[in-house]
Amino acid sequence: MVLNIPLMQQAGVVTGKNLRALMADAKKNKYAIPAINVTSSSTVNAALEGARDNKAPIILQLSQGGSAFFGGKGLDNADQKASIAGAIAAAHYIRAIAPAYGIAVQRSSYPGYCEQADSSPVVLHTDHCAKKLLPWFDGMLAEDEKYFKEHGEPLFSSHMLDLSEESKEDNIALCVKYFERMAKIDQWLEMEIGITGGEEDGVDNTGVDNASLYTQPEDVFDVYKALNAISPDFSIAAAFGNVHGVYKVGNVVLSPQLLEKHQRYAEQQLGQPEGSKPIYLVFHGGSGSTKDEIATAVKNGVVKMNVDTDTQWAYLQGIRDFILKKQDYLKTQVGNPEGESKPNKKYYDPRVWVREGEKTMAHRVAEACTDLGDINRL
Ligand SMILES: [Zn+2]
């Protein structure tokens, strides 16, 4: 399948109308784009490699903690300074390298074209920002506005505000306030209503009551109404029993079929025919989900699924297996089972063992793309 939208002419990071076209394409053609949490140039490269090999659009996202890590844990993160600087550094890195992961597409259906270098569209996003982390958001948004003045687009394609711990009224009001600014620079907003259970990046929701783990259609529509009055470029992470991480969690049941109710309710309120699916939905806490659950979520308008825990695990696997297999080559700089004077440099060079993690992570990213139907989209 070839996407017949102008975004394919643009290399690398997509924003504004190109991002809107990509999201509309995903919703219409019932696939979702995996959002991979990245924390370093190495994990960025692994994610881009997996996406490129599947001709898959990809979302790379940084959490507040991941941003600080990207900048370096040796930095002081007072007032979110390290998270702001790290996120901005990551954004520039991704913008610089993403076009290099271009895909050479054989345009056999177009006589005269033999080969054309296209590029995997990359969405540059930031993950959960709770109220106490707003200084991080403010720092990035200031940079987005500066970048917009110079380049006519924001530095990041999109950001997430997660004010799901606040009252619905406060959540919506703060989202509106920020979205008014973001809309002026053609930026997409992801917001959360209802709570994703579990623990991620220092936010512990393992103790919240069950009702808030399932968002109601009326609440989703209240968000839709308030944000759609500003711009169509937003998505909603509604809770349907999702939990961050891979856990056994008692009586919380993942219920992606509930998402259909959000779409139906919105269609009725808007007087749209059944199946219009006006809402862009986001699936958090997707790690460990079955392929059926994922398929149901995508059918109901999920266009983005976050993948973090499973790619963290995949990144470790390659490194762990290499270290365990080669441990007798990693104990001294010189000397291994092949001889006392044999050098071990080609085993302890980070380009060797870090690369093993990149390979297993790229493979897991490719699997996520496949599960979500995000393959051969270019
Ligand atoms: Zn999440």
What would the pLDDT profile of 207-229 be if each residue is shown by its tens digit? 666 667 889 999 999 999 999 99
pTM above 0.75, yes or no: yes
Count CB-CB contacts under 10 A for residue 248: 6
How much is the pLDDT for 5?
Answer: 45
Q: How far is the CA of 305 from the centre of ligand 1 (A)?
A: 9
**319 pLDDT above the threshold of 90:** yes
Which among 268, 270, 272, 305 has a CA at the least distance from the CA of 290? 305
**51 pLDDT above the threshold of 60:** yes
What's domain 16-103+118-308's architecture? Alpha-Beta Barrel (3.20)
Mean pLDDT for all residues in the chain: 89
Mean pLDDT of 133-147: 98
Q: How far is the CA of 287 from the centre of ligand 1 (A)?
A: 10
Residues with CB under 5 A from ligand 1 (ion): 284
Q: How far is the CA of 23 from the centre of ligand 1 (A)?
A: 19
Mean pLDDT of 148-172: 96
Q: What is the share, in percent, of the chain residues with pLDDT greater than 90? A: 76
How much is the pLDDT for 137?
Answer: 98
Q: How far is the CA of 162 from the centre of ligand 1 (A)?
A: 9
Residue 269: CA atoms inside 13 Å, Cβ hemisphere, count?
A: 18
Q: Give catalytic residues, as residue numbers.
A: 127
What would the two tokens of residue 350 be? Answer: 């980070």
Q: How far is the CA of 196 from the centre of ligand 1 (A)?
A: 7
Residue with more model confidence, 23 or 197: 23
Residue with more model confidence, 240 or 326: 326
Q: What is the share, in percent, of the chain residues with pLDDT greater than 70? A: 88
Q: Rounded CA gap, 302 and 111, in Å?
A: 36
Question: In this structure, are strands 188-193 and 234-238 parallel, antiparallel, or unpaired?
Answer: parallel
**299 pLDDT above the threshold of 50:** yes
State the DSSP code for 166.
S
